[in-house]
Structures are given as C-alpha cells and as structure tokens.
Amino acid sequence: MIAIILALSGAAAYGVSDFFGGIVGRRATPWAVAAAGGLGGALASVALTALDPGHPAAIDLAWGAVAGIGNGIGTAFLYRGLSSGRMGVVAPVSGVLAAIVPIAVAVATGERPGPLVWLGIVSAVPAIWLVAQEPMSDSGHPATTASGTRDGILAGLGFGGLFACLGQVADGAGFSPLVLNQLVGVLVVALAATALRTTWVPRGPAWGGILAGLLGGVATAAFVLAAQRGLLSVSTVLTSLYPAFTIMLAALVLHERVHGIQAWGMALCGAAVVLVALG
C-alpha cells in the first residue's frame, strides 16, 4: 500500500508542477521554462540527497544519467508540441506511451501483476488518454496533425524511458542519481533548443519555472521510492495519472470547465486506482 500512496503522491506533485509550469509558460518561452524547471528539479534532488545520501553504486548513477536523456527528450518534444498549439494530440499520446513503455519493460524483466492489478493498468491507459484530451476546435475537428503525433510519440518514448530507467535504481541508492537525471535533462533541452535555433536561457518570468521544477523533482523522488517498494508497472501507471490532478487544480483555482470526455477519464482514473489497490 505504501508504494501506491507514494506513486499517487508523485502523480499529484507532477500534476501541480504542470499546472504552475503551464501558467509560467504563458508569459515566457517554453524552452526557458523547461530549463528553469530542470534546475529547480536539480535543487530539489540536491536537498533530498542531503537528507538521504544513500549508498549509490556506479550503475545507479549511470541509470540516473541515462534517465536524464529520456527526461530531456520528453521535455523537449512535449514543449515543442505544446508551444505549437498541439496539446490535444501531444498530451494524450505522450501520456499513454509514458505509461506503456515502462510496463512493457517491467513485464519483460519478470513482473507478473495479479488479475485485478492488470485490470487497473488496462483501465488507466485509456483514462490517461481521455483526461489529457482537449475539446473540439471551432471547426468541429480535434487538433490532430502528423507533427503533433510525432512530437507526442517522441515525448512519450522519452518519459517512458525516464520511468523505466529510474525504476532500475536500487533501494538504498539515495537521491544522488536524480541530481544527474535533472542536470542531464537540462543539457538535452539546451541542445535541442539550440538545434531548433530558439532561446532556452531563463530570463524574467521564465524563472518561475523553478517552482514547477521543485515540485517535479519531489514527484520524481516519490516515483523512485514507489518503484523500489512495489511493482514498476503499478508505480508507473499510477504516477502517469498526473493529468487528472492538473485538470482538477485548473477547475478549482482557475475555474476552468472540466469537459465531458475529461470527466469520464477522471472517473476511469479513480476506478483504476481502486482496482490496483484491491489487487
């Protein structure tokens, strides 16, 4: 049960992080917000490492660094898609793949969840898709484009790699692998932004992304602890329910409307959590 609580705590922290990141992103370049967020995540990881330095082996640090590549790739393509107005495609595609990739890795490495847990996992995948959906555009068609799908796939593979790699960090390794994860992620974002000839250095409002990054760093730590104490497949799928928390926060704070398809997705999220807990 502690693994489920940790995974859901990670989902909540990721959801709040995305909420603040989205607000800051309205006033600053998304790439700069992503870079500031990575620095904030690194600060959170450093603070956690001071509390629990652990005893990381070289392989744990290596997994943290490789996970940072996935973190940076996921962030780079997610922000590229979102900044181009393709959220309705990028968010659900990336969210589903971010859950499926680690589940596939977990099963390939020997995890065998029970029937109820599997039912919860199977329910969570469409739930993530529904919650992340945007309403129809004015023309009556969803904002689906080939480029949006491509960005969503690349972002999902990146975040899926992040979860799969961090799931290999051994219990007792502490949080120093997460410091490498965040710093490598910032480097990848900087390289991607440079290749696309856009600015990534945080200035002015973009520094607000540090708050989102701090929350994201805490969320990542919660996920790692959950994966160490439970199944990687379960920890991944529960943490990937974070869009539901973003939607709820937007409704409560900004009074944004929860659309019908999102409400169905949130109900399915709740059912998935119950099934996993019962399993």
Per-domain residue ranges of the chain:
2-278
| Mean pLDDT of all residues in 159-164 | 93
pLDDT value of residue 86 = 59
Three-class SS string for the chain? CHHHHHHHHHHHHHHHHHHHHHHHHCCCCHHHHHHHHHHHHHHHHHHHHHHCCCCCCHHHHHHHHHHHHHHHHHHHHHHHHHHCCCHHHHHHHHHHHHHHHHHHHHHHCCCCCCHHHHHHHHHHHHHHHHHCCCCCCCCCCCCCCHHHHHHHHHHHHHHHHHHHHHCCCCCCCCCHHHHHHHHHHHHHHHHHHHHCCCCCCCCHHHHHHHHHHHHHHHHHHHHHHHHHHCCHHHHHHHHCCHHHHHHHHHHHHCCCCCCHHHHHHHHHHHHHHHHHHHC
| Mean pLDDT of all residues in 191-202 | 88
pLDDT value of residue 134 = 67
Where does the pLDDT of residue 161 fall: very low under 50, low under 70, confident under 90, or very high at 90 and above?
very high
| Mean pLDDT of all residues in 73-83 | 78
pTM exceeding the 0.75 threshold for the entire prediction: yes
- Inform me whether the pLDDT recorded for 145 exceeds 60: no
Highest mean pLDDT among 112-126, 172-186, 236-250, 259-273: 172-186
Q: What's the pLDDT tens digit per position in 201-229?
A: 998 888 988 998 999 999 999 999 999 99
- Inform me whether the pLDDT recorded for 196 exceeds 80: yes
Q: What's the pLDDT tens digit per position in 80-119?
A: 776 665 556 677 788 888 888 988 998 898 888 888 888 9
Q: What's the pLDDT tens digit per position in 231-263?
A: 998 899 889 888 888 888 888 887 878 788 888
